[in-house]
Amino acid sequence: MSHSSRDSPAASASDEEFDVEDVYEELEELEGIVDSAAELEQVRETMRVLRLARRPPLLGRLSDSFDSRDVGEAVVGSFLFGMPMIVEDGTLEIGRFIAGNPLFFALTVAFGFVLVYEILHAVEFEKVEADLLWGVVPVRLVGIPTIAGVMALVLMTIWGRVEWATPLTAAGQVTVTAIVMAVGASLGDVLPGT
């Protein structure tokens, strides 16, 4: 009684090492030997699907709690997004404007929070059980805006971009910068390869 090569121990060991590159190479070989247009189209369609499957996702998946690596990614994202805001005088004008309009100030903060929430929600941050304070509050949802807010406050203060003699205006200017930095921090945390 003959056994197929799939039943042999050597074959099962090689099956474990079989990866996407091997499949793609097999499909390329198959493309060269199929003899009908319908079969050729099926092979090419399979290759297209495999190419799409090999692309890394735009957003990563979170599996662990918010740790020092995530903090580092958030700091880098905050800094990269925040630098143009800190040096741009338009930020100071916007901050001055919203500081004098409490409704617009509140809407700006709410908009920033929603942006951060939606970016994190795209990677299902709420499903990371190890990432909950008191089993309820996601650490990322607190940590990312906090990191961005502290960075905006410190950098804008030590670089002389805000005048604390007018605290409401300074708070508006720091808030505008912090919101943009929070978006950068959340993207820094969720993008794969960062």
Domain assignments of the chain as residue spans, ordered by start: 5-54, 68-190
Between residues 14 and 133, which one has the greater pLDDT? 133
Confidence at residue 130, expressed as pLDDT on a 0 to 100 scale = 55
Separation CA 175–CA 115 (nearest Å): 14
Confidence at residue 2, expressed as pLDDT on a 0 to 100 scale = 42
Asked if residue 44 lies in contact with residue 31, where contact means CB atoms within 8 angstroms, the answer is: yes
Between residues 135 and 148, which one has the greater pLDDT? 148
Confidence at residue 134, expressed as pLDDT on a 0 to 100 scale = 66
Separation CA 167–CA 59 (nearest Å): 38
Separation CA 103–CA 113 (nearest Å): 15
Q: What is the pLDDT of residues 49-75, one digit of tens each?
A: 766 555 544 444 444 667 788 888 889
